Amino acid sequence: MLLLPFLIIKSIGKMFKSIYERLISKLRFSITFRITSMYTFIIAMMLLLLSVGILGGGLAYVMKSESDDLQRNYLLIASYIKESAEIPQNRIEQLGQLSGTTITIFDDKQNMLYTTEEQPEAVVFINQNKDLINVVERVSENQVFIGNPARPDNILPKEIFNEYGYALVLNDSAGEGSNLKYVQIINRLTQETAYAGIFVFTLIALEILFIIFIIVTGYLASKKLLRPIYAMTDTVRNVTINQLDERIDVRGSQNEFRDLARTFNSMLDRLQYSYEKQNQFVSDASHELRTPISVIQGYANLLDRWGKDDRQVLEEAIAAIKTESEDMKNLIEKLLFLARGDKETQKIERTEFDSKELIDEVVKETKLIDNTHEIISSRNESIVLNADRSMLKEALRILVDNSVKFTPPGGKIELQCYLQNHTVFLTVEDTGTGISKEDLPHIFDRFYRADKSRTKNTGGTGLGMAIAKWIVLKHGGEIKVQSEIHIGTKVIVTLPI
């Protein structure tokens, strides 16, 4: 029972938190709204501070001016009192009418002797040191700016104040001895207060109009400024798998939005290129797999019909199926190799080995399987490499196999390995048919064949050069190809030492 109130409070807190989070999630404050609100708030604060400064300065000036007028009137009255024991009522009345003030003369006992007030019963001696007087500001030693406290213990009649409840009071003594008098001058500041009210109202009205103008112009300006973002949003929203050719128009943009639009366009270019390459890759892989599968299926049907009892047909079918399945296995292994490379899951196990031994090994193995070409290693320096030996050998085997396939019998294939400027050069050069300038930029594309008329025995799968390039790049190197038709081809692999 004791925990029940705490559980109720906790449940109510969670409920309000959930409602608040849901409300915030439902409200969608656009960038235009936020920019307009932020700058409107900043400008409004600046206007407010400026208005307060202007208003404060104006009121201080008015107060100082009226205070000086009261002080001058007091000095005149004090001079009148010093000149004569009699109170110059005419002069004081004229002075009060000219200055718009109420002037009252008290004796040394603070009894009223003369006043210009139309209601004498409302005249009281205002002692500046009385706690019951609501002193808004002490202007000088003999002047105070007072307000009507509207309290039951208020000793001042309301007639002293203006309609807003304020008055500026000067109270000081004049004369000496038996001629001592107290002079009290009250300025109700009626006109000044009215003018101040009009001034404040004018300032508020101008500020409201200016803020409305800022909101409208800020909204329109931010909409125009953010128009490229809306165009980007519409463009990206229209991009689909079947429509990747949409691009953002960068014309007219001369700021950061142009860079953002170009970045978006570059991203869309890469997406479109990757998607097209993926489609081409899938199409080519399907095409490459379709042929061996068709061959295997054909020989399986042949065996099913009459090959079971025909020894020659049976052996031919088995040999063809083994060959095609081996080709399929090689193709699938290459595809898996490239797929692992694309996903960055293909491991590279670096070890230190002698490059000379690797080149000699590749030359020796090539000679064992091919005796129709002259395979030599004219320049083979001993260099310690830190690389994946099996992968680097695979890349060299791919390059040498290509040279063997496309070099006529009796031609020469030359391998070189040397160190130059802290860079290892591995070259494979042949005297084969060469590659045309049109095909040269595409030889590293997957499933690309420079000669579409080549047979399967010479054409390969079109994946070897892509694999070789991947291996070289993963080792931080570069691969370049130089070739001329009917003269030969030279592949240059550079690796950092």
Using left for φ > 0, alpha for ψ between -120 and 50, and beta otherwise, residue 396 falls in alpha
pLDDT at 289 > cutoff 90: no
What's the whole-number mean pLDDT along residues 80-89?
Answer: 80
Under 8 Å CB-to-CB from 370, ≥6 apart: which residues? Answer: 404
Under 8 Å CB-to-CB from 426, ≥6 apart: which residues? Answer: 355, 359, 396, 415, 416, 417, 492, 493, 494, 495
Higher-confidence residue of 61 and 11: namely 61
Contact predicate 411/472, CB 8 Å: no
pLDDT on residue 251: 66
Over residues 462-476, the pLDDT tens digits come to 788 888 999 999 999
Cα distance between residue 274 and residue 34, in whole Å = 38
Average pLDDT, the chain: 81
pLDDT at 242 > cutoff 70: no
Under 8 Å CB-to-CB from 444, ≥6 apart: which residues? Answer: 465, 466, 469, 479
Cα distance between residue 243 and residue 237, in whole Å = 11
Tell whether the torsion through CA atoms of 70, 76, 80 and 83 is positive or negative.
Answer: positive
pLDDT at 455 > cutoff 50: no
pLDDT on residue 454: 46
pLDDT on residue 453: 47
Domains of the chain plus CATH, in order, are 55-197 (3.30.450), 256-341 (1.10.287.130), 347-496 (3.30.565.10)
Confidence of residue 392 (pLDDT cuts 50, 70, 90): very high
Least confident piece of the model among 22-26, 129-133, 286-290: 22-26
Cα distance between residue 334 and residue 466, in whole Å = 10
What's the whole-number mean pLDDT along residues 449-458?
Answer: 53
pLDDT at 363 > cutoff 90: yes
What's the whole-number mean pLDDT along residues 393-403?
Answer: 92
Q: Which of 55, 371, 352, 5 is nearest to 198 (CA)?
A: 55
What's the whole-number mean pLDDT along residues 238-252?
Answer: 67
Confidence of residue 330 (pLDDT cuts 50, 70, 90): confident
What's the whole-number mean pLDDT along residues 326-341?
Answer: 79
Confidence of residue 3 (pLDDT cuts 50, 70, 90): very low
Higher-confidence residue of 408 and 307: namely 408
pLDDT on residue 484: 92
pLDDT at 439 > cutoff 70: yes
**HEC assignment per residue over the chain:** CCCHHHHHHHHHHHHHHHHHHHHHHHCCCCHHHHHHHHHHHHHHHHHHHHHHHHHHHHHHHHHHHHHHHHHHHHHHHHHHHHHCCCCCHHHHHHHHHHHCCEEEEECCCCCEEEECCCCHHHCCCCCCCCCCCEEEEEEECCEEEEECCCCCCCCCCHHHCCCCCEEEEEEEEECCHHHCEEEEEEECCHHHHHHHHHHHHHHHHHHHHHHHHHHHHHHHHHHHHCHHHHHHHHHHHHCECCECCCCCCCCCCCCHHHHHHHHHHHHHHHHHHHHHHHHHHHHHHHHHHHHHHHHHHHHHHHHHHHHCCCHHHHHHHHHHHHHHHHHHHHHHHHHHHHHHHHCCCCCCCCEEEEHHHHHHHHHHHHHHHCCCCEEEEEEECCCEEEECHHHHHHHHHHHHHHHHHCCCCCCEEEEEEEEECCEEEEEEEECCCCCCCCCHHHCCCCCCCCCCCCCHHHHCCCCHHHHHHHHHHHCCCEEEEEEECCCEEEEEEEEEC
Confidence of residue 489 (pLDDT cuts 50, 70, 90): very high
Q: How many CA atoms lie within 13 A of 377 on its CB side?
A: 21
pLDDT on residue 117: 87
pLDDT on residue 412: 94
Q: How many CA atoms lie within 13 A of 473 on its CB side?
A: 11
What's the whole-number mean pLDDT along residues 282-305?
Answer: 76
Q: Which of 435, 423, 357, 351 is nearest to 396 (CA)?
A: 357
**Greatest Cα-to-Cα distance within the chain, rounded to the nearest angstrom:** 160
